[in-house]
Amino acid sequence: MPVRVEVLERQRLHDGFISVERLRLRHALFGGGLSDVLIREVYANRRGVGVLPYDPQHDAVILVEQFRIGALDMPSGPWLIELIAGMVEPGETDEVVAHRESAEEADCRLDVLWPICEYVSTPGVSAETVQLYCARTDSAGLGGIHGEPKEGEDIRVHVVSMGEALEMMSNGVIQSAMPIIALQWMALNRQRIRDAWL
């Protein structure tokens, strides 16, 4: 099989909260041959996990709200309504991360995990992949402020009905891709989930 991507040089530019690499490369063209040499910066390879806890008894979901630097200049401000989420550390599985982050960010215990999808979050500039889950939970008593202070987390937990969550998405209150993807999936699969979990 012919080479579809030829990496000529790879240079690490930054190691911190994120890692950035610069690549010189050429890639195969749909019409044949290779592209000119391109220079691209990319966030180094990471894997995230997002989880939408769902309480089928109350038809409610758990969402979290927190400060996000990437939304600093958005007119609505940098506090976003999101899914519970975290990064996979070496030796961890996606499922372990889903349970750990749910406990840390929302004091929420998960039961069954139902895979939603895996996607590349921002393929133009990032190699980060995300695995999304819907998870059965009991929403009784959930809410308040949570997070890991040593990680600078200050997270408000919201327990909202599915109807309210879908309205928040439709009205632009939810502006982050991860919860939009998960809530749209729930809108399509809600009855199937309820049939399986009730």
Could you give the residue numbers annotated as active site?
A: 151
φ/ψ (deg, to 5) at 181: -60, -45
Residue 111 token pair: 């039961």
Closest CA to 43 of 120, 101, 131: 120
Helix/strand/coil (H/E/C) assignment for every residue in 39-81 = EEEEECCCEEEEEEEEECCCCEEEEEEEECHHHCCCCCCCEEE
- Are 34 and 27 within 8 A, CB to CB? yes
- Are 63 and 179 within 8 A, CB to CB? yes
Other beta carbons within 10 Å of 120? 11
C-alpha 100/C-alpha 87 separation (Å) is: 10
- How far is CA 99 from each of CA 95, 102, 108, 181, rounded to the nearest angstrom? 6, 5, 8, 20
